[in-house]
A and B are shown apart, each in its own frame.
Chain A
Amino acid sequence: DTGVSQDPRHKITKRGQNVTFRCDPISEHNRLYWYRQTLGQGPEFLTYFQNEAQLEKSRLLSDRFSAERPKGSFSTLEIQRTEQGDSAMYLCASSLNGGGGGEQFFGPGTRLTVL
């Protein structure tokens, strides 16, 4: 399967713990996005990479959140000192190039539950 993959699919953690999610985009895609989707809402943009450079971050991304894409391939999203409000589905998407309204291909998401 050459689609976008995310790991883990589900994560349950206790408040105050740190969690890390991984996203593997489609191999030739240079753009990678993270979105957060809470119950009953559409996905909300968190951050965006072009190759290894993080070029934009949403105000939703507090200081407890950090994302990396070290070699321009896979990406990680870390949440430190998790809070119950962090419970959500975290979606990763990738696309090729830009400047043309290209399709973003989504992964299955990581569902985070903070107890």
Chain B
Amino acid sequence: AQTVTQSQPEMSVQEAETVTLSCTYDTSESNYYLFWYKQPPSRQMILVIRQEAYKQQNATENRFSVNFQKAAKSFSLKISDSQLGDTAMYFCAFMPTQGGSEKLVFGKGTKLTVNP
């Protein structure tokens, strides 16, 4: 069974600084997808960034980028120029390609607080 581990329950960062959230996962599959989702307080979950395992190039979306280390099964999220609106729970998620459902397997999340 696939598992996703986020070892940092809470983190804080000053506005405009950079922060990195960690995620490791365990799978025997060779092809899969990895995601970071953001869940702001009392609001619905939204996709931050997506990585395909067979692509070596790290995904980037504006201020958000990932460091994908396939051999180490590591998928960290870097947020540059942090903004107050980045305050949220961040979930790392794994999507297997085998099985057909493409269900997401989530970590427990990291609560990020951006301080002014």
Contact = CB atoms under 8 A, between A and B. Distances in A.
B23 to A, nearest CB: 11
Contacts of B114: none
Contacts of B95: 101
The A interface is mostly helix, strand or loop, or mixed, namely loop
Interface string A16-46: 0000000000000001010100001111110
A42 B109 contact: yes
A91 B106 CA distance: 13
A101 B104 contact: no
A85 interface: no
Interface in B42-85: 43-47, 50, 52
B44 to A, nearest CB: 5
A22 to B, nearest CB: 16
Interface residues of A, number: 27
Contacts of A48: 101, 103
A24 B67 CA distance: 35
Interface in B88-105: 91, 93, 95, 97, 99-105
A45 B38 CA distance: 17
A31 B108 contact: no
A53 B97 CA distance: 19
Contacts of A33: 103-104
Nearest to B4: A42
Nearest to A40: B108
Given A101-B32, A101-B52, A104-B104, 6 more contacts: A33-B103, A33-B104, A43-B91, A44-B106, A101-B97, A104-B47
24 contacts: A3-B44, A4-B44, A33-B104, A41-B108, A41-B109, A42-B91, A43-B45, A43-B104, A45-B103, A45-B105, A55-B100, A55-B101, A56-B99, A91-B45, A95-B102, A99-B102, A101-B97, A101-B102, A102-B102, A103-B50, A104-B104, A106-B37, A106-B45, A109-B44
